[in-house]
Amino acid sequence: MTGDTAVRSAHSLQAHPGIDEVVVIGPAKSKSFDVVGSAAGCDYLVGHGSSAPALARKHGVPLIWDGSGPEEGVAAWAASPTGLALSLASREPDPRLVAIAHPDIPDSHTTRTTRFPDPVGRLGVFDEAVGGKPVAMAHSPGDFAACLVEAANRRVAVVDHGGFLSGVALAAGVATAGVSGRPVWEEALAYLEAVTEMGLVMAESG
């Protein structure tokens, strides 16, 4: 695991009662985790960024990943704020809007605006497809991120510090991992239960 998101996810995993042990694959230094020379004995690797699948294949251990599509050796993908928003949507019978605002999303050309819960507020969004599913994306200019789903009769949202939300979203992917390499929203209930157990709060309004 490398980067701030991976480190945050490791701390979330370490505190989770379903995880026996979290280690860092060396060469590395860590004050919080044991550093080991190989991934032998690990059930999964948890990785962030485009280089993670290749590194996991090198170690021969399935990967929990925040990338936006399947790759060889990946046991669960879209373990990210976007995957979290799509998981929320999969539990709704008629989602009409799936949106994500995050500081890490590039400040791109926008086509309309969407009102996210405070403190994120109204932002310009642009459309992307993740796993063939439409998502409205927005750059959040502050530290906070938001996942939002609007259905016919209610809005469901998660709002938190962007780094914390990304770390939890990645860590919770372990609850959905399967040999078929599926996105987290295909096991949405298990995924959403894991993110709430790791500290994210979901709110809804009619």
pTM of the model: 0.93
Q: Are residue 71 and residue 109 in the same domain, yes or no?
A: no
Q: Are residues 104 and 150 in the same domain?
A: yes
pLDDT at 88: 97
**89 shares its domain with 61:** no
Condensed to tens digits (0 to 9), the pLDDT of residues 21-41 reads 888 887 777 777 788 888 888
108 and 152 inside one domain: yes
Residue 71's pLDDT band (boundaries 50, 70, 90)? very high
Confidence of residue 3 (pLDDT cuts 50, 70, 90): low
For the chain, give the percent of residues with pLDDT over 70. 98
In this structure, are 10 and 74 located in the same domain?
A: yes
- For residue 165, pLDDT beyond 70: yes
Do 91 and 155 lie in a common domain?
Answer: yes
**pLDDT of residue 20 exceeding 90:** no
Of 20-29, 62-71, 179-188, which gets the smallest average pLDDT?
Answer: 20-29
Q: Are residues 85 and 43 both part of a single domain?
A: no
From residue 118, how far is each of 143, 147, 204 by CA, in Å? 12, 12, 13
Are 171 and 69 found together in one domain? yes
Helices first, then strands: H and E counts in the chain: 5, 13
Residues 185 and 199 in one domain: yes
Q: Indicate whether 53 and 149 sit together in one domain.
A: no
| Number of domains observed in the structure of the chain | 2
Compute the average pLDDT of residues 56-80.
Answer: 94
CB neighbour list of residue 41: distance below 8 Å, 6 or more residues apart: none
Residues 72, 170: one domain? Answer: yes
Q: How far apart are CA 47 and CA 67, in angstroms?
A: 9
Residues 67 and 102 in one domain: no
Domain around 176: 3-78+164-205
